[in-house]
Amino acid sequence: MSLQATREGMDMKATRLTALLGVAVLVLAVAPAASAETVETGIDMVLVKTVDKAVASPGETLTYTITISHEGPSSPLQAAVVDTLPAGVTFASASAGCTALDASTVECLTGPWLPSTLTYTITVTIDEGASGTLLNTATVDHRDPRPEFPDDSDPSNNTDTAETVIPEPELGSIGDFVWLDSNGDGAQDGGEAGVSGITVDLYAADGVTNLGSTTTNGSGLYSFTDLAAGDYTVVVGSHPAGYLLTTSDSYDVTLAAGQAYLDADFGFTPPPEEPVIDLEVVKSVSPAAVTVGDSTTFTVTVTNQGPDAATGVVVTDTLPSGVTFVSSTAGSESGGVITVPVGALAVGAQSTFSVTVTVDDAGAFTNAAEVTAADQDDVDSTPGDGQGDDYDTATVEATEVLANNSIGDFVWLDTDGDGVQDSGEPGIAGAVVTLTGSPTISTTTGSDGKYLFSALDDGTYSIAIDVSSVDDDYSLTTVGTYTISVSGGTTNLTADFGFAEVLPKTGTDTRPLAVLGAVLILFGAALLTVSRRASSVI
């Protein structure tokens, strides 16, 4: 219970207590006289009620005036006026002696009431939304506790009603147009058409309470009708995808009674045309035919054929298995994928880069390059889908390297022992020469002293002469081992070995003389030993 309600209750109790005390005093005062003589009795109470406004509007106040009177001859110890307030009003105040018992009842209590006229006033406020006729009725009745107190002789004049008419409010409307603002200037120009099917919502002044929703008709018009005067907010809802508002998306409207507000208009401009491009990728390779281990270069050219400039262009080159990345003139490589951020390309402009690889195996290897990103839509292809004119390939074919290198070639009798092949110096047949590498093999010189190791793979080899395969009377006049590298079909005939006789022969064989000398030495030693033993005996 509010403090105000508590106070009103206390005031009502005090008023009633005062009235009861007055009644008790009056009873004591008149009781002796009543017992001494007979008193003429009878009473006719009259109530008249008026209101200060016969016509009013919500928010205004009404003041009811209640006048009660009686001519006796009896005087009640207490009388009460009960006023029943109509729906659509709120109690505001009342004169002394009156109390609001509840939201719709006001009671005014008298004290001992001698013949006279009493007046009370009650003030109320007309509620918002109230309409029609407000009828306020009040009734007066005595509340004398004495059993013998007479009833009112004419109760028909104990009640009266005051009437106030609240005219129906003039209703207004809010609208009215949603249009295609072709030039985006926010103003309705001649020929700019309305947009149908657009949702518009009407809210109360709080911007939260939705009072209704509607959609624009085929001409772009909308309307909220039968609106009382007051504050409203109009909000436009969804609109075609990509379209932009050129006006505010809401309006706060203060609507007067009966007003047709037709300026809550909303303009939409169509989305700007998106730029489009046509990127083309062309890829080539050179050389297109290689042997295993050779390098080749792929060249990629991307061209913007318009009609608009391209930005954010990225080209990706994906290497096939069987090749090894060597270098690229642009971008970066990771895991066999070269990513080249081309960037911007004006209409007609192109960008070229190349990728060099080594071919590791025999076979055909196809390398693909494609546009994988661009800020604009391409008119005839989609980045990264592996097709279209923004995608191209080139193929390199590699064959095995044939073993076509040779090393040779001559073992000869170096008659003058100078280590140089001179004209007429003959070859030595049957000499064994060994090639060490992959593979390791040996061969024997022919009757002309020639030898040859053929069908050799590219590589480095060691070639050595087996000296024991040549006559003991000969010794080398050149090196005994050569280290030679060959590749690409090379024939190397510089591994030559020369031999010369060790000592020339004199014509006298000294070997028998040597044997005889040794025998004589042994015989002399034996004689010397025998002679020494004979001397020791004598």
Calculate mean pLDDT across residues 294-300: 95
Coil, strand or helix at 352: strand
β-bridge partners, 51: 64
**Residue in the block written with tokens 């700019």:** 192
Q: What is the pLDDT of residue 28?
A: 43
Assess if CATH 2.40.110.10 describes domain 408-501. no
Q: What is the pLDDT of residue 515?
A: 52
Q: What is the pLDDT of residue 74?
A: 87
**DSSP E strand boundaries for 350-458:** 350-359, 363-373, 377-378, 391-399, 405-413, 432-436, 441-444, 450-456
Task: Check whether 434 has a pLDDT greater than 70.
Answer: yes
Q: What is the pLDDT of residue 489?
A: 86
Residue of 99, 107, 103, 113 whose CA lies nearest to 22: 113
Residue pair 470/431 in contact by the 8 Å Cβ criterion:
yes
333-337, 366-370, 404-408, 477-481, range with the lowest pLDDT: 404-408
Q: What is the pTM of this model?
A: 0.38
Task: Check whether 15 has a pLDDT greater than 50.
Answer: no
Question: What's phi and psi for 9, nearest 5 deg?
Answer: -65, -40
The structure tokens listed for 450 are 């020639």
The DSSP bridge pattern shows strands 377-378 and 276-277 to be parallel
Calculate mean pLDDT across residues 266-291: 90
β-bridge partners, 482: 463
- Sheet bearing 199-204, strands edge to edge: 210-215, 199-204, 230-236, 250-255
Calculate mean pLDDT across residues 329-345: 95
Task: Check whether 116 has a pLDDT greater than 70.
Answer: yes
Q: Can 3-166 and 408-501 be said to share one CATH topology? A: yes
Longest Cα separation, the chain: 226
Residue pair 313/331 in contact by the 8 Å Cβ criterion:
no
In CATH terms, the fold of domain 3-166 is Immunoglobulin-like (2.60.40)
User: Is residue 307 reached through a cis peptide bond, with omega within 30 degrees of 0 on the bond before it?
Assistant: yes
Domain boundaries, the chain: 3-166, 172-269, 277-399, 408-501
Distance CA 163, CA 62 (A): 11
Q: What is the pLDDT of residue 40?
A: 57
- The half-sphere exposure of 483 on its side-chain side, counting CA atoms within 13 A, is 1
**Per-state percent for the chain, helix, strand, coil, to nearest 5:** 10, 45, 40
The structure tokens listed for 162 are 């005051």
| Average pLDDT in the chain | 87
Number of helices (H), then strands (E), in the chain: 2, 39
Residue pair 370/386 in contact by the 8 Å Cβ criterion:
yes
Calculate mean pLDDT across residues 472-499: 94
Coil, strand or helix at 20: helix
Phi-psi region of 113 (alpha: psi -120 to 50; beta: other; left: phi over 0): beta
Q: What is the pLDDT of residue 114?
A: 78
Residue pair 94/65 in contact by the 8 Å Cβ criterion:
no
The DSSP bridge pattern shows strands 289-291 and 391-399 to be parallel
Task: Check whether 425 has a pLDDT greater than 70.
Answer: yes
- CATH pick for 277-399 out of 3.40.50.11860, 3.90.1010.10, 3.40.50.720, 2.60.40.1530: 2.60.40.1530
Stretch (H or E) spanning 530: helix 511-537
**Structure confidence by residue, pLDDT tens digits, 20-55:** 444 444 444 444 434 434 445 788 999 999 999 999
Task: Check whether 452 has a pLDDT greater than 80.
Answer: yes
Alpha helices (H) in 179-338, listed in sequence order: none
Residue pair 282/305 in contact by the 8 Å Cβ criterion:
no
Distance CA 260, CA 172 (A): 5
Stretch (H or E) spanning 66: strand 61-70
**Structure confidence by residue, pLDDT tens digits, 66-79:** 999 998 788 899 99
- pLDDT band at residue 224 under the 50/70/90 scheme: very high
Q: Give percent of the chain above pLDDT 70.
A: 86
Task: Check whether 310 has a pLDDT greater than 90.
Answer: yes
Neighbours of 280 (CB within 10 A): 19
- The half-sphere exposure of 338 on its side-chain side, counting CA atoms within 13 A, is 25
Assess if CATH 2.60.40.10 describes domain 172-269. yes
The structure tokens listed for 376 are 């604009």
The structure tokens listed for 6 are 């508590």
